[in-house]
Structure formats: structure tokens, C-alpha cells
Amino acid sequence: MMPSLFLAHGSPMIALEDTAYTRYLEQLGAGLKPKAIVIFTAHWESPVLTVSSMDSVYETIYDFGGFPPELYAVKYEARGSVVLASQVKKRFEQKGIEVRTDTSRGLDHGSWTLLRRLFPKADIPVVQISVHPFLPPSEQYRIGEALQGIGEEDVLVIGSGVTVHNLRALRWDRPRDSNPEAWAVEFDDWIIRHVEERRLEELYRWEELAPHARLAVPREEHFVPLFIALGSGDPSRKPKVLHRSYDFGTLSYLCFEF
């Protein structure tokens, strides 16, 4: 049985860099043997939930700028799955969630940078799903709930985002994993405590209750995959922190298993 995961994708450079986090992702992937992957990515926004539906090899999308040339040479040539996309779409429809399919979009860096470290052979079918960042957290959770139990079919669900994601607050002078900013740590501490205890009603009110909420999350697109992944997990299982580290003082690599 596959768990549901929330994984931080942070900088696109995780596709190339050798760090404690990228080594952790490689270790995590080596211990997982899914037959397919469903990934919600913060870098695909749409007003209607949209599911990729293709059997062909995905294009690798370089939706970023200013990085070393070798990053733009990376390819992650995973295939999609029309059959799984249809099954996922049906699950959403059964819950009354409006959903569409897309037959051409490639994998953005919210997906392929993580997947390259987890499953470098790119031999596992992938279904990529968009997010609507402005739906309330309870609705994000309900989207995830529609996929509850799919792990019993050995399908791995991943919510790809970041908890603390304020690019204007990055400390470029701060070495990796060296003294993260106190406010970023305090926000993640609050998230961890409430996630581990499944205090959903308080989590839904994160904007008013969590310390430094709008400093940590100036825009919700990277944050909502957390609620989706939490909703898709086993409600009887205690959520677990898998990894926690920071880049440039504030960029969080907090990851959960549900």
C-alpha cells in the first residue's frame, strides 16, 4: 500500500544538486514501489481541476529562468496513463467535483524535479493534476479525500508544494541549513503540530491562527497541495514528518507522509 506524501520542491536545482534533501528523496524513492503516481503540482493552476490524460512521453517544461544551462538539458521522460487518468477523473466526479482532462501539457518543475530524484529511471506512469489556489482549505482537503484508498491500488499520491515560500524573503547570504529565520521555523512548527494532531478546523483557519502566516505564504499555490495530500491519506494513520530543512534562511523543505 502506498502512502500519500507532501513533498517540497523548492528550488529547481534539487534536480541537480547533491544535498541532504536530495539524498533523502533518493532514499525515499528507493523504498517505494508504486505502480503509478498521481501528483498535484503548485506550478499548474486552473480554475477547474484538470487531470493530464495521455499515454505518450511527457515534455519536460522549464518554467523558470536564470539557472545554469545544465538544468535546461535535464529530461524526465515519464509516460502518462489514460487509464489511470480516467479512474482519477471518475473519483472526482463521484464526489461532485468539477474536473477536466488535458491531453498535451508536459511535466512542470513542480513535478519532474522531485520525480527525477525519487524515481530516476522515469519508468513509472505519471498523472499530473492542477491546483486552484484560491479554493478554501476545506475544499482542497475534499479534493484529496476523493483519492482516499487509491494507495491500496499501489498508486502514490504526491502533493508538490512548499510550506514557507516567500521568494522576496530569501536570505541569499545564508548558507544552506544554517540558522533559518525564526519566523519561518515558527510557522512550520505550528503547521507540524496541527497536522500531526489532525486539527483540521484550526488548519483551515491557518491564515488567522498560524504565526507569520502571510509572511510564510504570500500566495497559496504552493501551500494548498499540503491540504490535498493530507485529505488523500489514510485518516487512521498518524501524519509523520519525513524531512525538514531550509535553503537561504526561509525556503522550507518540510515533507510529510499521510
Per-residue pLDDT, 172:
76
What is the spatial distance between Cα 228 and Cα 98, in angstroms, rounded to a whole number? 15
What is the spatial distance between Cα 204 and Cα 137, in angstroms, rounded to a whole number? 5
Model confidence pLDDT, tens digit, residues 27-53: 999 999 999 999 999 999 999 999 999
Q: Rounded mean pLDDT of 82-111?
A: 98
| Domains contained in the chain, number | 1
Q: What is the largest CA-CA distance in the chain?
A: 50
pLDDT at 169 over 80: no
Per-residue pLDDT, 189:
98
Q: Which residues contact 164 (CB under 8 A, 6 or more apart)?
A: 184, 187, 188, 216, 217, 246, 250, 251, 252, 254
pLDDT at 171 over 90: no
Domain limits for position 144: 4-257
pLDDT at 177 over 70: no
pLDDT at 257 over 90: yes
Residue 252: phi and psi, rounded to 5, are -85, 135
Grid coordinates standing for 221? 499555490
Q: How confident is the model at residue 69 (pLDDT cuts 50, 70, 90)?
A: very high
| CATH assignment of the domain containing 145 | 3.40.830.10
Q: How confident is the model at residue 168 (pLDDT cuts 50, 70, 90)?
A: confident
pLDDT at 232 over 90: yes
pLDDT at 102 over 70: yes
Model confidence pLDDT, tens digit, residues 155-165: 999 999 999 99
In 71-179, alpha helices (H): 82-94, 109-118, 137-145
pTM beyond 0.85 = yes
Per-residue pLDDT, 175:
65
